[in-house]
Copies of this chain bind each other. A is one copy, B any other.
């Protein structure tokens, strides 16, 4: 007979630490360094502070299996009343808001603390001083696994004697520096390359010191919290927004979302057959499902899927089945204007026809503005090209930073770059450098959506023959990067993101092709 039981989030991630990236001592050492560094960069850059980050890994003298990792930053610090939960309560975070940060899960530092506790029985020590505080605070803690609560063993505070704000975090855990070394150095270097405004110092267990000195005094525009975008919003989020208020639904929707004015909301409610003055919490489940579909609008991906999966025998019936907000006559006219026979078989629609229908239909939906980019903080073509030139000294480099798009209510920007020739080493497949929310991703390359896109590329189409000296850099930044796992090593193939990566990479490769063609003509001209 089966024994049923519940686990706390702390017990769950302690037991299944591999899903958070702590699968072996080398990987755990790497992951713990990442979690601390990513928290420090969030605490500085996101708040308009030029980052000064110090990272030290020391091997324990009495037991060489154990390493002590200490990371110090000059960030905004943490208010003392939040420190215990921030470091010792799993699924507790200040980054659950819609704003691009490296952190997102409320798990990172806790997963490292759990691993340290389990392998070395050790405590996490935190020294922090918030920006506007006159005091410095000290905590020595562990996680109570069963309750998912902090256990505080020591605490103290004292007045600041000098102008300092920031945080120092220290943990001791079982690691494997020889096997982690190459990845840790690569991670820090690839981080420094795209954060030229940061000072990063790293001292290794072999007592090597590496100093990435700030080469740029100007911070990028920090991202700002925004409201969700209605496109792709899910039923549960919409419910949560609506059920909290007895105000008329038209008011609640207008102030809860970005990108929609009163007229667009009115239109959406009309299509969903909902009375605008109806109190928000009185909406029925069916009305909410209908409203979510209308707000979501139609995406080109949904049209493509409909072409393949519809049971309708004609294009006009396929559109009706998709519940496009228009009369049959209006849709028939739209199709006729596009020279598409409404009674033709949906399977016969070309991709161009789908795009044309998409643009036509989009006009029928409520006017929803594109997502605001202010929650995002892309790298920018300048930083990407400068970084690639610095490391590789290529003959050609081209970065593309796309416009903001939306998936599931989250705005995102895709940036890519290609570097070719010069100091770039030749290889049988392109060297892929992946980033997500400015974090370098070093593992699980072939499981990543960027690789899925690259695998499909027909290199001949771009005048490239493998082996070739080709580097492709990809950066996906979003208010929610759809990582495949909480260890943040690869990005999932969400259709909208995959599509943007594909368009961006092809755009960059076309620029490379033009360069290669031009260079070939110049060489031919020289020989004559």
Mark A residues whose CB is within 8 Å of B.
Answer: 2-9, 12, 14-16, 18-19, 23-25, 27, 59, 61-65, 76, 78, 82, 85-86, 89, 91-97, 104-106, 114, 117-121, 145, 176-179, 234-237, 240, 285-286, 288-289, 292, 302, 305-306, 308-312, 321, 323, 443-447, 480, 482-487, 490, 492-495
Contact = CB atoms under 8 A, between A and B. Distances in A.
A285 B482 contact: no
The 4 closest A-B pairs by CB, nearest first: A446-B446, A2-B94, A23-B492, A485-B485
A117 B309 contact: no
Contacts of A5: 92-94, 96
16 contacts: A2-B76, A3-B94, A4-B85, A4-B86, A7-B96, A12-B106, A16-B104, A23-B494, A24-B492, A63-B321, A64-B310, A64-B321, A445-B446, A446-B446, A447-B447, A484-B487
A236 B482 contact: no
A227 B237 CA distance: 43
A138 to B, nearest CB: 20
A302 B65 contact: yes
Given A4-B92, A18-B494, A65-B305, 18 more contacts: A2-B95, A4-B86, A4-B94, A5-B93, A5-B94, A5-B96, A7-B93, A9-B12, A23-B484, A23-B493, A64-B306, A65-B302, A118-B235, A145-B236, A176-B309, A177-B309, A178-B309, A179-B308
A105 to B, nearest CB: 7
Contacts of A288: 121
A7 B312 CA distance: 42
A309 B446 contact: no
Nearest to A323: B63
